[in-house]
Amino acid sequence: MDPQKFRPSSAFNSPHWTTNSGTPVWNNNNSLTVGVNGPILLEDYQLTEKLANFDRERIPERVVHARGAAAKGFFEVTHDVSHLTCADFLRAPGVQTPLIVRFSTVIHERGSPETLRDPRGFAVKFYTREGNFDMVGNNIPVFFIRDGMKFPDMVHSLKPNPKSHIQEGWRIADFFSHHPESMHMFTFLLDDWGVPSDYRHMEGFGVHTFILINAQGKETLVKFHWKPTCGQKFLLEDEAVVVGGTNHSHATQDLYDSIARGEYPEWQLCIQTMEPEMADSFEFDPLDVTKTWPEDRFPLQPVGRMVLNRNVDNFFNENEQLAFCPALVVPGIHYSDDKLLQTRIFSYQDTQRHRLGGNYLLLPVNAPRCPHHNNHHDGFMNFVQRSEEVNYFPSRFDPSRHAERYPIPSRPLSGRRERAVIPKENNFQQPGARYRSFDPARQDRFIARVADILLHPRTTQEIRRVWLGMLSQCDSGLGQKLAAKLQAQAVL
């Protein structure tokens, strides 16, 4: 008997029922009792195993991105970018790499409607020949805050009130009144953009700035963009009510059904690039995650296409246990000094170890598809068969060696320890420009959604005036229209 062949897999199911240990089960309908109607015996291992497994079927839901749907497919390079990066999966046009994608909402619980106004996660795991690369992004190109120190507080403000368990506008208005950099994010979230019609008609962004490194060690700053070939679509309030009231899993079902029909969703991957020496020459900090790089100065460059052509085989195994982390990069791609990215490098792997256990990267959906080897033995749920006698490095009894060296960022670092705000905050220029790009009807809808938050009975006049001041700095006309709407409600 080959134990590797018969390790747990539905491909090797026995024709009869068994316990987890493989013992045949001849009756899976009745508990073991004393007599026909007697009490149940504690020795009924089959019953206690069944109940114990059922009691543990649910793992802790994600603190954020709890509600999501996944699909599988491939990425194909369509344009040569080998002059920018030595990443193996981007080595030449025509190269294909398997991947899995998870789309999600951010703030709300696992069973919440997919029509709620909320950012959407857009996370892609590339199973490359050099290990997994996780591009963990959103459907909005910017974020609320620029420093991860604020992240737990930000999430708490957006989550339900811990006393009432109700998401309340006054808490959101209060917290973000202290963070003017959030105005750019709100011009997306409170715009029509805030409720995508489904996952297929949704753009994706790496959000952060990363670094591409070529074989010669040359570094290039980069931002990643996913463009759906079927275009973008959004739901307005009345439409969202109808769709969400009909099917609270509409986006998950749309994704699943479209793939089942053979209408495979597809996105084009584009990049924006910048020479590192240019970074200080703009009116904004290119590493500031609350900013976009203007496309007229940094045009989108096509790289490849992503096609989702397979649904998950098991929702729990390939969605709930699917785990992403922006720390997972491959040679040729590296982190920038973006403060929020630097925080997420730790936070994501830490939360996955809490949620799934220390060996979460051994789970099939998270494990690399390339050969891999290290001495990370043992721990909870380490199910890999290990027969080595040497579990240390280096050893003359083990031929394992270091991998070939590859280039990493080599810029010298200097400075003193300090907790500082970036010099170029420039919080209002880009959100003002975005607001002015809306047509009048879209501007009115945006103002109505802002007012809805500020009109919460517990939002104070001080908080309203702070928001009014921030949005007036974005655009004076926006401030005037918002003030008129608030005055009409006699709250200013």
Query: What is the spatial distance between Cα 188 and Cα 194, in angstroms, rounded to a whole number?
Result: 6
Tens digit of each residue's pLDDT (9 = 90 or more) over 288-305: 999 999 999 999 999 999
Q: What is the mean pLDDT of the chain?
A: 93
Nearest to 103 by CA among 140, 79, 71: 71
User: What's the token pair of residue 478?
Assistant: 């926006």
Strands (E) across 65-130 are located at: 68-77, 96-105, 120-128
pLDDT bucket at 114, cuts 50 / 70 / 90? very high
Task: Please tell me the number of Cα atoms within 13 Å of 299 on its side-chain side.
Answer: 2
Nearest to 325 by CA among 297, 294, 360: 360
Average pLDDT over residues 177-183: 97
Tens digit of each residue's pLDDT (9 = 90 or more) over 143-171: 999 999 999 999 999 999 999 999 999 99
H-assigned helices in 192-338: 237-246, 250-260, 315
Q: Cβ(279)–Cβ(221) under 8 Å?
A: yes
Q: What is the DSSP letter of 319?
A: I
The more confident residue out of 53 and 142 is: 142
- Catalytic site residues? 65, 138
Query: What is the spatial distance between Cα 394 and Cα 382, in angstroms, rounded to a whole number?
Result: 23
pLDDT at residue 354 greater than cutoff 80? yes
Q: Tell me, what's the pLDDT at 4?
A: 55
Q: Give the global pTM.
A: 0.93
Average pLDDT over residues 36-56: 85
The top-level CATH class assigned to 68-163+195-362 is mainly beta
pLDDT bucket at 2, cuts 50 / 70 / 90? low
C-alpha distances in Å from residue 3, one per residue of 7, 154, 358, 369, 452: 6, 49, 25, 21, 61
Q: Tell me, what's the pLDDT at 148?
A: 92
Q: Tell me, what's the pLDDT at 7?
A: 60
pLDDT bucket at 5, cuts 50 / 70 / 90? low
C-alpha distances in Å from residue 35, one per residue of 25, 32, 40: 20, 9, 9
Q: Which residues are annotated as a binding site for heme?
A: 348
pLDDT bucket at 386, cuts 50 / 70 / 90? confident
Tens digit of each residue's pLDDT (9 = 90 or more) over 450-489: 999 999 999 999 999 999 999 999 999 999 999 999 998 8
The helices-and-strands tally (H runs, E runs) of the chain is: 12, 10
Query: What is the spatial distance between Cα 422 and Cα 262, in angstroms, rounded to a whole number?
Result: 48
Q: Which residues are annotated as a binding site?
A: 348
Token pair 């990049």: residue: 271
Q: Cβ(145)–Cβ(182) under 8 Å?
A: yes
Q: Cβ(404)–Cβ(168) under 8 Å?
A: no
pLDDT at residue 6 greater than cutoff 80? no
User: CB-based contacts of 189: which residues, under 8 Å, 6+ apart?
Assistant: 117, 118, 119, 140
Q: Cβ(129)–Cβ(89) under 8 Å?
A: yes
